[in-house]
Structure 1
Amino acid sequence: MQRARSLAAEQAILDATLALLTEDGYANLTIEAVANRARASKSTIYRRWKNKEHLVLAVFERLPVPAAPEGDDFISELALLFGRFGQIMQNTALRGVIPTLVAECMDHPTLSAALIDVNERRRAPLRALLRRAIARGEIAADADVELAIDMIQGALAIRLYFLLDPPSPNWIRQLGQRILCGFGASAPTSR
């Protein structure tokens, strides 16, 4: 019974953190506000999380990361991955929180450091797709995989957070073709 109560309190704290991030942003997030929203004590929060950066990180760590899908080629795998990522983002309030947190990283180096691991988890499926594309000969063996990931994540961020326009299947295909062309493969014919 004690463990169930503890898990319920933890979930209430994480839910409150996400709600407050969405409503007020990172700069205005306080442990006291989280405690009030979650109906928990500040000492309960501090027993689990050292500071608000760790609390925000815990919210992100609870979110699912889509597994790298296996398809016939890089473009089909990229489309599957973007579809899974889109479903996750549709079902969470983080879509509106992520741009704010990115901006806050400029003024809060500890937040930036805490989010490095979160971003690394998001990069891992793309890295797997790109390495399989290299193994299949779609991308040059000496391709800079990390640069390709930066390009994909950057294009996706612009589309989602600045243009507020989810990527269409055609946009994903075009992005995949540009990545293939830029990293040593010729553009595949349209399907």
Structure 2
Amino acid sequence: MAEDADQARKSIGARRNPDSAEAILEAAEAVLVEAGYAGFSIEAVARRARAGKPTIYRWWPSKAALLLEVYQRQKRVDVPDTGKLEEDLVGFLENLFAHWRETSSGSVFRSLIAEAQTDETAATALAGYAGGRRAHTGQIIERAKARGEVANDIDPAVVADLVASYAWRHLLTNRLDEPEATIRKVVHYLLQGIAASGR
């Protein structure tokens, strides 16, 4: 009993206790595997993690926020750095499509996007995640700009949005088996619009 009280005290406060947070995230992953997106709930996670719902909501303001962190934990997508922008983008998209196709995270992310259309908390969580991903993908363009492959006035964030639009459309329409030749054609068309003059 004293041990339970001690554990409860450790999880109190706005700052996450690493052990408690890890237990909650592991419980969330397990609930997702067992019940799927439709059966996922904060209540089920709290029961499995032996944590209070207020603690979970203190650290993750919504179900969508918790699911997005679970998604990010499971996401393993290599971002190539080949020294050529076309190869980097083709490789990135191939790796992303394979990850969505071969793991459960693709269906989770698709469900989150769908929920964000009618749930404001899900929309807010997704917007925060997308902003971070935009900056991350934009680094590929920044590297190419430093190499002189991309015109100086190109906004990497806008290019990242174009890449994400292509990827998300394929995720939402379940077209994740695009051949490399098709992905390469899309990237080639994109790069024709942002290439530095004289290249």
State whether TM-score is above 0.5: yes
Q: Is the 8 A contact 1:31 1:52 kept in 2?
A: yes
1:122 to partner: Cα distance = 2.7
Gaps spanning 5+ residues in structure 1: where?
none
CA positional deviation for 1:127? 0.8
1:14 aligns with 2:28: yes
Task: Find the counterpart in structure 2 of residue 113 from structure 1.
Answer: 124
State how far apart, in whole Å, the 2-side matches of 1:78 and 1:114 are: 26
TM-score (norm 1): 0.74
Indicate yes or no: 2:182 matched with 1:171: yes
Report the counterpart of residue 134 of structure 2 in structure 1. 123
Change (3 A) 1:126 1:89: same
User: Could you tell me which of 129, 154, 160 is aligned with 1:149?
Assistant: 160
Superimposed CA distance per residue, residues 92-115 of structure 1 (whole angstroms, 9 cap, x where no aligned partner): 312112222112112222222122
Q: Figure out how many residues of one structure are paired with residues of the other and give that number.
A: 180
Match of 2:54 among 36, 46, 68: 46
| Alpha-carbon distance, 1:8 to partner | 7.2
CA contact under 8 A between 1:138 and 1:180: conserved in structure 2?
no
* Structure 1 Cα separation of the partners of residues 44 and 174 of structure 2: 32
1:31-70 alignment, distance < 5 Å: 31-35=42-46, 38=48, 40-41=49-50, 43=52, 45-50=53-58, 51-64=62-75, 66=77, 68-70=79-81
> What is the match of residue 13 of structure 2?
none
Report the TM-score when normalising by structure 2: 0.72
* Greater alpha carbon shift after TM alignment, 86-95 vs 169-178: 86-95
Return 144-153 or 13-22, whichever deviates more: 13-22
User: What amino acid sits opposite 2:72 in the alignment?
Assistant: E
C-alpha displacement at 1:162, in angstroms?
0.8
Q: Aligned Cα RMSD in Å?
A: 3.2
Q: Larger relative contact order (C-alpha < 8 A, sep ≥ 6)?
A: 1
CA contact (8 A) 1:53 1:114 kept: yes
Using the alignment, how far apart are the partners of 1:160 and 1:114 within structure 2? 19
Amino acid of the residue matched to residue 115 of structure 1? L
Give 5+ residue unaligned stretches, structure 2: 1-6, 8-16
